[in-house]
Amino acid sequence: MRPGGAVLTPWGTHYSDQDALLRLTVREDGSAEGPFLRMVEFMKLRSQRLDWNRFRDHVPQFPGDADVSRTRLTLAELGGRYDTVRFVMGLRVPDCAHVVNQPDAGTAKAWFFDLLSRSWAAVVIRGGEPEAAVYQSGPRCLWDEVESVHRWWTACGSPDLTASA
């Protein structure tokens, strides 16, 4: 592409299905820069889709010998569809896949799987309870990373995706 040309592309991680629409402008030296425009969700090519079956053996028996703790972070604070916080989590908690089993009888499970090891975390959220149970297993403490990123993002003022740097 020649200088001044524009590239419009979705960009995201396996953390969630959402991507951000990125508009890059090509510079004289061939590099490109530009802002994220908004959250989007595109159907990924088969080769780009995450095979959830790869995590089938991560949790042979729940909760097994997982470390147990508690959290006050809510499902809503983890972000819903098109929320910037979910996109930021995917950027700041690398190589992590995240999925939520929808609430059943007031209970939801948020799962986190490491793409490179057998580490996993599950947060069991029961409606009406002020804290949720956290289960983590493996060399990587994924939930600790998620909470840390959430604290950082909140301390930064919970900026929107399109906020200027």
**Nearest C-alpha neighbor of 162 from the set 40, 39, 37:** 37
Peptide bond into 60 cis (omega under 30): no
Share of the chain above pLDDT 70, in %: 96
Burial 23-38 (b: 16+ CB within 10 A, else e): ebebeeeeebeebbee
The predicted-structure confidence for 86-97, as pLDDT tens digits, reads as follows: 999 999 999 999
> What is the spatial distance between Cα 41 and Cα 19, in angstroms, rounded to a whole number?
6
In this predicted structure, what is the pLDDT of residue 103? 67
Write the CB contacts of 104 (distance below 8 Å, at least 6 apart in sequence): none
Q: What angle do CA 75, 21, 36 make, to 5 degrees?
A: 85
> What is the spatial distance between Cα 82 and Cα 49, in angstroms, rounded to a whole number?
19
Q: Is the pLDDT of residue 104 over 80?
A: no
Domains contained in the chain, CATH given:
6-44 (no CATH), 53-155 (3.30.160)
Q: Is the pLDDT of residue 13 over 90?
A: no
Q: Are 162 and 38 in contact (CB under 8 A)?
A: yes
Least confident segment among 4-8, 38-42, 64-68, 109-113: 38-42
Mean pLDDT across the chain, nearest whole number? 89
The backbone region for 158, taken as left when phi is positive above 0, alpha when psi lies in -120 to 50, beta otherwise, is left
| Strand arrangement, sheet containing 67-71 | 67-71, 132-137, 120-126, 107-114, 96-104
> What is the spatial distance between Cα 70 and Cα 66, in angstroms, rounded to a whole number?
13
